[in-house]
Structure 1
């Protein structure tokens, strides 16, 4: 599957590439990341390969990421209109200003106008709530976003790093009031981070929200660079070092075996696993170097078989808490030992016998 085999995001008509280009690394303002020149090369190559989905945020690299995108594509309408440009609000860029961030109306309207200015465009294709603001009623957030959609400044809205119950509340509220609802869910997802499978993934599947995972390589832990014998010093160590442990190394060992069988790399296998998960629409790949983009995109050619998936499942399957841990016994309670949807259900110990009646 190449980048130009587009998929619709959630229950919407928005067509996006199966891999989204993450722009968090555009700019060297935080001491790491891509130079302006290399960022532009990465953008050009991604588009050349057929990619159309680019994701940033108002405070990535102190807002320089948005400016790099604006300088390179925003001022060229014909090029801009062929892309799905996504950015986020919530981050506060202004010390001492309590309304400089968050999800209140004042903050959202200001953040949107500033992002439009930096991106040098008059509309944002997909505007993400970056993370849940516990101090703002979700009705206020959704109403403000609806106003931006009606004003033509935003085409679609999405949500990132927010509990499942709050996302569900937001979308049900929006649907009852005739407002725009979230079509995308951006969350961390990888072989080392599967806790979203407890609540967020089932919610997204039920509500028709497309999942766009971030950090599919767990900050590089699954890039293939770090093994038991590796001497490479981790970059951005605060994010990576906690995961350089026996569990990760055992997983990397298995990924290496699978990669050899498919004549590919560890990183591509890890990316292919994420992209193949239920509910996942477009996986965000964040790259700092052009060579990383070229390598990661080839993960779309990797097709994992049932044995590959079973081996990875054995090493990484999460322990799901209540009520998911009760799920195996529910069919027996519900269906009385009958066949439902082609599956024979086990009998329940609570079923009454022939000739008996319930009390």
Structure 2
């Protein structure tokens, strides 16, 4: 294939607040052996909790690109991250990035968060997330609170599979049973 460069990775937004890539993009990357480069793993600062205390951060200048707590689900996720910071004695950014790192460890392909610190202090804090041994229970709790609805066609398929497969799912590999 002269002149073509092989595709080796895909890039998309992914964080505890934005997990819609689990519907199709992450499974595609894993099945094709593509790296997944995740932008905005701190949801534009939302997961740090700083907007709750009046900091402007990236809200100024980047406008609608940056996430805010628009839904009760967003609030539950930020609350869970802030609770985890107390349990681990770490900052919210460290916790959110450590969760993403643990998610990457469990993936079958390279999953690489793209960090965007604006100061050396933020960079040091982001990198310190590499030192966190993330407990399974905490990973599961954050995974649960931030889970997404699979949507169509996945939820329809989940309802239909038992009937189509004669009621005994143990005899076949069901392609998807929940959000990854």
TM-score computed with the length of structure 2 as normaliser = 0.77
Return the alpha-carbon distance in structure 2 between the equivalents of residues 304 and 194 of structure 1: 19
Return the alpha-carbon distance in structure 1 between the equivalents of residues 131 and 56 of structure 2: 30
Q: For 1:258, what is the secondary structure of its paired residue?
A: helix
Q: Which is richer in strand?
A: 1
User: Which residue number in structure 1 is paired with residue 36 of structure 2?
Assistant: 211
CA offset digits 1:239-282 (Å, max 9, x no partner): 47651344433322211221222221111111122222234522
Deviation beyond 6 Å, 4+ runs, structure 1:
none
Return the alpha-carbon distance in structure 2 between the equivalents of residues 341 and 334 of structure 1: 8
Q: Which is richer in helix?
A: 2
Change (3 A) 1:262 1:340: farther
Q: Superposition pairs for residues 1-359 of structure 1, below 5 Å?
A: 147=3, 179-227=4-52, 230-237=53-60, 238-239=63-64, 243-245=68-70, 246-277=72-103, 278=107, 279-328=109-158, 329-330=160-161, 333-334=164-165, 337=168, 339-340=170-171
Gaps of 5+ in 1: 1-142, 148-178, 344-359
The answer (yes or no) to whether the contact 1:191–1:270 under 8 Å persists in 2 is yes
The answer (yes or no) to whether the contact 2:43–2:67 under 8 Å persists in 1 is no
Change (3 A) 1:327 1:304: farther
The answer (yes or no) to whether the contact 2:162–2:169 under 8 Å persists in 1 is no
Tell which structure's C-alpha radius of gyration is larger.
1
Q: How many residues align?
A: 166
What's the CA shift for 1:342?
9.8
Q: For 1:304, what is the secondary structure of its paired residue?
A: coil
Superposed CA RMSD: 2.7
Q: Which structure ranks higher in relative contact order (CA pairs < 8 Å, sequence separation ≥ 6)?
A: 2
Return the alpha-carbon distance in structure 2 between the equivalents of residues 266 and 327 of structure 1: 37
Return the alpha-carbon distance in structure 2 between the equivalents of residues 202 and 259 of structure 1: 30
